[in-house]
Amino acid sequence: AALSRRYVLCEVLSEDPRCRQCIEDRAVGLAVRDAIGRVHGDYGLACCSVSFTVKYLNAYTGTVLLRCRKDWHRLLCSALPFVRQLESRNQRYPCALRTLHVGGTIRTCQKFLIQYNRRQLLMLLQNCKNEEERRCIQKSLLSCSLTEEQSHSGDEEDDDGTE
């Protein structure tokens, strides 16, 4: 039987524009582990660490996909609000992690992210100041789709059917 896993889709929020440059797997992983340790102690950290990993990261959009065992995903999620900073090259950048979605597969998280981005773009479209802005955002909206090639990534076991 395959291990049941959960994928937690998060967004890195920061006022500091320099924070984007330190959004990397290692920094995010350490910040999350540190928060779990502070909130749930050594036992919680040990439970969450079993198959915890930063599965996907996009520094440009601030999107992070975390993977953990299904049994411990609530422990992980409850610690995420306590991530207060990312550290890189001895510099600390204040930030927060906002949980967007928890799914059973990477694909469900991808689908959610596309819909989420589409909603964000529609909100931007309503606030356009001129026709040029409007055209750029409409073009972005049309590009929000999931192609077949992306759907065949290796980590797609549909754990136990629940999402």
pLDDT (tens, 9 = 90+) of the chain, 163 residues, equals 567 999 999 999 988 877 887 788 999 999 999 999 999 999 999 999 888 999 999 888 889 999 999 999 999 999 999 999 998 878 888 999 999 999 999 999 999 998 998 888 888 878 878 888 788 877 777 776 655 444 444 444 444 444 3
The residues that bridge with 128 in the sheet, in sequence order, are none
Answer yes or no: is 71 within a domain: yes
Tokens of 24: 């990397």
Domain boundaries, position 80: 1-104
Answer yes or no: is 161 within a domain: no
Q: Which residues 6+ apart lie within 8 Å of 6 measured at CB? A: 67, 68, 69, 70, 73, 76, 102, 103, 104
Domain identity same for 98 and 119: no
What is the model's pLDDT at position 146?
Answer: 56
- The domain total for the chain is 2
φ, ψ dihedrals at 56, nearest 5°: -150, 145
> Is the CB of residue 39 less than 8 Å from the CB of residue 79?
yes
What is the model's pLDDT at position 163?
Answer: 39
What is the model's pLDDT at position 107?
Answer: 94
Domain identity same for 58 and 138: no
User: Residue 105 and residue 3: Cα distance in Å, rounded?
Assistant: 12
Domain identity same for 60 and 125: no
Specify the pTM: 0.78
